[in-house]
Structure 1
Amino acid sequence: MSTASVEAQLRTRAFARVIGPYVATFTIVYAIRLPDLVGYINDLFAQPVLVWLLGALMLGGGLVIVGGHRSWRGPLAVTVSLFGWFVAVRGFLLIVDPGAVKSGVDSTMLSPTATTVARIFFGALAVIGLLLTYAGWFTEPTAPTPATPTTDAHSPA
């Protein structure tokens, strides 16, 4: 498999420069303050128009990432693309069935085990955010490796 073009790698790094610090910041806060955020979550879901707006913004933001970043070559590119799809799907779910999202949040917050697992999950996402930040700001693209042409040994040159 050949590596992505330099242009695609630069685009991936540009997305990683934005997504990495965002993910790292918010997931660190979520991991540390998760039990304290229940009030915010309840306040949010008490205002259906805010849930709808959040879903619309998330769907739009996710689709911008999906549409602007079409490379799936390499772990960094896959991570950026998966993040875009994840945000778009979450936004779609908030628009279509906010009650299911709220139910999932409530069941997670009511179970100490699920809350601990969620905190560990957010901590792992924080590490991924830090890695995206590093890759976006401090690495350089590699030269693409050309695909090996397949030629038939018996065909004329």
Structure 2
Amino acid sequence: MPTADPTADREAQLRTRAFARVIGPYVATFGIVYAIRLPDLRGLVGDLFAQTFNVLVLGALMLAAGLVVIGLHRNWRGPLAVAISLFGWFVAIRGFLLIATPSTIEAGAGATLLSPTATIVARVFFAALGVLGLVFAYAGWFRPVRSA
């Protein structure tokens, strides 16, 4: 039975930490800001979808960012690594959907902002996403790497 390469395992952990360092503060910032300001963003959604180019660029950037995470983070060992990998897939799929079906995304965002209950659910979702970002940031910047 072949033994696991401790160097490869350590490199995978370091890569996961690097992604957590970048993704964590970004997701924490936007998750918390969206949770607080979501009702104020009604006009922003309309403005975004009013320009097809903006939606296309946003979708392309999201798809590219998700594919970078998917392509460079191939570690699925441990909860942090799984969460980073799933985040990459989530961003890539959202980017693809923005490019492929922008009217569906616009309708969903509009319906969410028009419904008080859906807005509360969305605010809770973004708050949870913000907390996840803080966990990523903590794990990336402060948690020690396990030795092999």
**TM-score of the superposed pair, with normalisation by structure 1:** 0.88
Q: In structure 2, what is the equivalent of residue 137 of structure 1?
A: 141
Verify the 8 A CA contact 1:61 1:88 in the aligned structure 2: yes
Q: In structure 2, what is the equivalent of residue 50 of structure 1?
A: 54
1:86 pairs, out of 87, 90, 113, with 90
Measured in 1, the distance between the counterparts of 2:48 and 2:79 equals 34
Q: In structure 1, what is the equivalent of residue 81 of structure 2?
A: 77
Verify the 8 A CA contact 1:5 1:143 in the aligned structure 2: no
Determine if the alignment matches structure 1 residue 104 to structure 2 residue 96: no
Determine if the alignment matches structure 1 residue 123 to structure 2 residue 127: yes
Measured in 1, the distance between the counterparts of 2:144 and 2:64 equals 29
Shift of 1:38: 0.9
Determine if the alignment matches structure 1 residue 63 to structure 2 residue 67: yes
Measured in 2, the distance between the counterparts of 1:140 and 1:7 equals 14
Q: Which amino acid counterpart does residue 26 of structure 1 have in structure 2?
A: F
Q: What is the identity percentage for the equivalent residue pairs of Structure 1 and Structure 2?
A: 66
Measured in 2, the distance between the counterparts of 1:124 and 1:60 equals 24
Shift of 1:131: 0.5
Verify the 8 A CA contact 2:45 2:110 in the aligned structure 1: no
Q: Which amino acid counterpart does residue 100 of structure 2 have in structure 1?
A: V
2:10 pairs, out of 3, 6, 10, with 6
Shift of 1:143: 2.2
- 1 or 2, which has the higher helix percentage? 2
Q: Structure 1 regions of 5+ residues with no counterpart?
A: 145-157
**TM-score of the superposed pair, with normalisation by structure 2:** 0.94
Q: In structure 2, what is the equivalent of residue 37 of structure 1?
A: 41
